[in-house]
């Protein structure tokens, strides 16, 4: 799904369903035109009591580094990666162990959630790093307006501070919809972004 001001991708990965304790994986990518990307990786266990270590791995075409003060996963002039509180993990940057012929991919970024019982969720915001005045913050702040309170793998709601502006993003992940509230917005739509979804939800 894409329009002039945004693009949205969603897919599933079924390879891990062959495990004895099967795992289903799904990923989403929301591109907010010329600003940033929101990356969501979700993993579902066949049995909620099963314990598993989850990893989200990506390879980068530059040698990534880690900031000491901002809590971001990788910071370089080209790209800034901010894991979201409540859906983050231990991070590690290392040389890529699987270099591809003809493709320059020296760095591997790995997020790890160890010994998780049940489901797991990784959420990151990726943005061009535009200089010392740049600031990016994101936090999960979605809540249900109905009796059924969504768990963190059922819905993601973000407040994103982008150059002094607060953007709100909500994404429902299940086959059903639940009414939600997030930073003064309310709706039951599946996907919402305050900068590109004018008229698609109500402001409280």
Phi (first) and psi of residue 15, to 5 degrees: -65, -35
pTM: 0.81
**pLDDT by residue, tens only, the chain of 204 residues:** 667 778 999 988 877 777 777 788 889 999 988 789 999 988 877 666 778 888 888 877 766 666 544 444 444 456 788 888 666 667 888 877 777 777 777 788 888 888 887 788 889 888 876 665 567 777 777 777 665 555 667 788 888 888 788 899 999 888 878 888 888 888 888 899 998 875 445 555
Locate tokens 């270099």: which residue? Answer: 99
Instruction: Round to whole Å and give the CA distance between 204 and 160.
Output: 18
Question: Which domains can be identified in the chain, with CATH numbers?
Answer: 2-203 (2.70.98.70)
Query: In which element (H, E) is residue 39 found?
Result: strand 36-45
Instruction: Round to whole Å and give the CA distance between 72 and 186.
Output: 29
Three-state DSSP state, 150: coil
Phi (first) and psi of residue 30, to 5 degrees: -115, 125
């Amino acid at each position: 799904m894409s329009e002039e001001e945004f693009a949205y991708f969603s897919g599933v990965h079924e390879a891990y369903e062959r495990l004895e304790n099967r795992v289903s994986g799904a990923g989403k990518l929301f591109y907010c035109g010329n600003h940033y990307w929101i990356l969501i990786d979700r993993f579902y266990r066949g049995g909620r009591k099963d314990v598993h270590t989850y990893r989200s791995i990506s390879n980068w075409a530059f040698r990534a580094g880690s900031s000491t003060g901002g809590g971001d996963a990788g910071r370089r002039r080209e790209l800034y990666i901010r894991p979201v509180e409540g859906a983050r993990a231990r991070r590690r940057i290392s040389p890529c162990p699987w270099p591809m012929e003809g493709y320059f991919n020296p760095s591997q970024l790995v997020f790890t959630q160890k010994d998780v019982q049940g489901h797991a969720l990784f959420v990151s915001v990726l943005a061009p790093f535009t200089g010392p005045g740049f600031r990016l913050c994101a936090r999960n702040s979605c809540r249900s307006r109905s009796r059924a309170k969504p768990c963190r793998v059922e819905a993601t709601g973000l407040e994103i501070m982008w150059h002094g502006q607060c953007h709100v993003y909500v994404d429902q992940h299940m086959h059903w919809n639940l009414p939600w509230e997030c930073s003064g917005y309310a709706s039951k739509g599946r996907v919402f972004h305050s900068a590109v979804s004018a008229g698609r939800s109500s402001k409280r």
